[in-house]
Structure 1
Amino acid sequence: MEFVERIGALATKVANQADAIVTEEATKNAFVMPFISTVLGYDVFDPLEVVPEYTADVGTKKGEKVDYAIMRDGEVQILIECKPSRGTLKIEHASQLFRYFAVTNARLAILTNGLVWQFFTDLDAPNRMDAKPFLVLDLLDVDDTLIPEIQKLSKSSFDLDSIINAAEELKYVGAIKRAIAAQFREPSDDWVKFFTSRVYDGSFTQRVREQFTALVAKASTQFLTESVNDRLKTALGAGIPMSEDQEEAVASEPVAERDLSRDTEIETTLEEIEAYQIVKAISCAVVKPHRITQRDSKSYFAVLLDDNNRKPIARLHFNTKQKYLGLLDADKTETRHPIDSIDEIYTYADVIREAVDRYA
């Protein structure tokens, strides 16, 4: 199994089981140990590779333990501190990591609740763990650009120098991406003022601030919507000709603001929306556009007829690097078809229309 597939398999497990895991020990058994063994490739039962409850006396703090230490050639390379999966990770949870980082040879430390993995090093001061992670991996919303960096920590591809050298760029690029996403969700005064000053010549009064806060939020959402629709039109232009109903499906339902929201645990991606629009356009050869709906979940994005989960048309499994289009037969048995591009959905147009026709 390829590295990206191993991460994808664990991400699916996390999405399916997260609600059932309530304690720290359960988090370790269900998510942390599989990440160390299945994803990174270390033998969790070999003390020469993985030491659980790793102890190193630190000043007056005697007998404190870090949950796991990953070893190479007899030296500690990575320290891991675990918290329950239902808890939000805070830097205050990393007190042992801070102390151990200074007295061991470790250059990397990980704070995790099994769902989110925060990776730390010593960019700010030698042998002193940074207060902010240089890389954050969320298994409920995997950023594919981070996978090559995570792979450098695996047993078969361990390359500490490479990941340390890339850490500064990863730290700031990741932080900037999260900051931009936060501004799209809820524009700050500085963000609003930045754009207002470029389109409005008057004074930035309280009334103007309130007016442009709503306008900047609306413009941001419309910008994303138009970007998605432009890409969709390009994709459709390369596919089969559209009927009037299919054109209506694309034109009449731009990406809704709720689909672009990142405020919930379920994150609907722009690519899922594009793929949904393609499935909808294909389906409109059989039924009216308004009957094709969608529901997103942690496991997959569903395209339904009449907003009825008993009438699934297709399922989009886009949470891993390898994307799958799930299609169901008359017995509702799903077959996953790997696709490299959402344009490949057109090759399954006949199967999609058959599914709609069965329910209609």
Structure 2
Amino acid sequence: MELQLQLKALADKINQLKDKIETEESTKHAFVLPFINLLGYDTFNPTEVVPEYTADLGLKKGEKVDYAIVENGEPILIIECKNWKENLSVHGSQLFRYFHVSKTRFALLTNGIVYQFFTDLDEKNKMDQKPFLEFDITNLKDNSINEIAKFHKSNFDVNNIVTNASSLKYIQEIRKQIENELDTPSVEFIKFFANKVYAGRLTEKVMEEFRELVSKGFNQFINEKINDRLKSALTKETQKQQADQIDPIEEGTKVLTTEEEMEGYRVVVAILRRKLQVSRIVYRDTQSYFGILLDDNNRKPLCRLHFNGGKKYLGLFNDNKTEKRQAIETVDDIYRFETELLETVKFYEVD
């Protein structure tokens, strides 16, 4: 939990400072060194963290990698840093050369925001082309935090990390493929499902129709699965919230949270969890509307559900926090406003 809080604090700092950081050197000091510190290593102790670590490359002597984390005089992790604005995909070859001449099993390529961890799963002493662990520190998932914890000084175990790295690497690649197929389904992906449900000939026109159908079908399936899990997880919380409501005898001030409002809340969570941790999406029910807030903060409304009257409305907010109501027929219609809801998050997350 402490590491999670430290990572969140560093992410907040990065979001606040990055527009003021212009150089690679500034990126190192403002973003990368604090990350090394929270892994438990003293960046001011040259027996633990060596800046400008020498990695001689054959006849080319004096080549240096930005940092090396050292244990018993040997590097256990070499780190190459780039400016936070740079794309890391064009810088892997340099670290590849450093890895080959060092005794480490792990290498890190980072711009202070995106972190890519490499090892030598494919060929011993030769850095893999693809990282086994990659994450954006400003948008961390729980599984990534668990993997980062394994690099903490108190937990570091080479064999344990290498053993787990193989699974991580392939799971990460599979997830990317799934994400790509959901965003832009390939011909093979479309054909696989179209052949299951369509008896006619798969003409170009039919394939184009199924491209959208497959994408929509998968996204709806995923959202419904998320809703089911949220419904189960939130049942106890709902019961507690309802138990805390004002006595029903006091009709004038009674607030009753309906199952339909909770269903709407779960739909909103299913959409926003792509950008936010679920714990940050909080609801407050009132007599006039069902409000959904960021961090339980009234100054950060995400949307409102107006389900108490004859018609249903979804209240959306612009960057001036002005609400605009959109008429909906069913709770599922909230999915039509996915883009607007995700845009609302940006109004607060840029702070």
Normalised to the residue count of structure 1, the TM-score between the two structures is 0.72
2:136 equivalent to 1:135: no
Look up the SS of the partner of 2:65 in the other structure. strand
1:84 aligns with 2:83: yes
Moved more, 150-159 or 115-124: 150-159
Which residue of structure 2 lines up, in the alignment, with residue 335 of structure 1? none
**Partner Cα separation in structure 2 for residue 25 and residue 163 of structure 1:** 29
Change (3 A) 1:89 1:197: same
4+ residue segments displaced more than 4 Å = 241-245, 250-254, 293-296, 308-312
Higher relative contact order (CA 8 A, sep 6+): 1
- What SS is found at the alignment partner of 2:153? coil
TM-fit CA distance, 1:133: 0.3
The within-5 A match list for 1:168-317 is 168-235=166-233, 237-238=235-236, 239-240=238-239, 246-250=258-262, 255=267, 259=271, 267-268=275-276, 271=278, 275-276=281-282, 279=283, 282-283=284-285, 285-289=286-290, 292=291, 302-303=301-302, 307=317
Residue in 1 aligned with 2:94? Answer: 96
Q: CA deviation at 1:41?
A: 1.2
- In 1, the alpha carbon distance for the partners of 2:22 and 2:271 equals 29
Deviation track 1:99-140 (CA, whole Å, cap 9, x = no partner) reads: 121111111000001111100011111110000001112212
Q: Distance in 1 between matches of 2:18 and 2:258?
A: 39
Q: How far off its partner does 1:168 sit?
A: 0.4
Q: How far off is 1:84 after superposition?
A: 0.8
Name structure 1 gaps, 5 residues minimum: 313-360
Indicate the RMSD between aligned Cα atoms, in angstroms.
3.2
Cα separation, 2, equivalents of 1:139 and 1:83? 15
- How many residues align structurally? 294
- Greater Rg by CA: 2
Decide whether aligned partners of structure 1 residues 234 and 31 sit closer, same or farther in structure 2, where only a CA change above 3 A counts: same
Q: Quote the residue 2:251 is aligned against.
A: none
Identity percentage of aligned residues: 45
Distance 2:98 2:233 in 1: 52
Other-structure match for 2:156: 158
Amino acid at match of 2:228: D
In structure 2, what residue type is equivalent to 1:180? Answer: I
What does residue 30 of structure 1 align with? 30
Q: Distance in 1 between matches of 2:294 and 2:319?
A: 9
Q: Which residue of 1 aligns with 2:121?
A: 123
- Alpha-carbon distance change, 66 to 130 in structure 1, aligned in 2, over 3 angstroms: same
Measured in 1, the distance between the counterparts of 2:53 and 2:102 equals 11
Q: Is the 8 A contact 1:81 1:94 kept in 2?
A: no
In 2, distance between residues paired with 1:54 and 1:231? 48
Q: Deviation per CA, 1:19-70, whole angstroms, max 9, x where unpaired?
A: 3323211110111000111x21111111111111112221232322211111
SS in 2 for 1:202: coil
- Contact 1:153/1:160 (<8 A) preserved: no
Q: CA deviation at 1:207?
A: 1.2
Equivalent runs, 1:313-352 vs 2, <5 Å: none
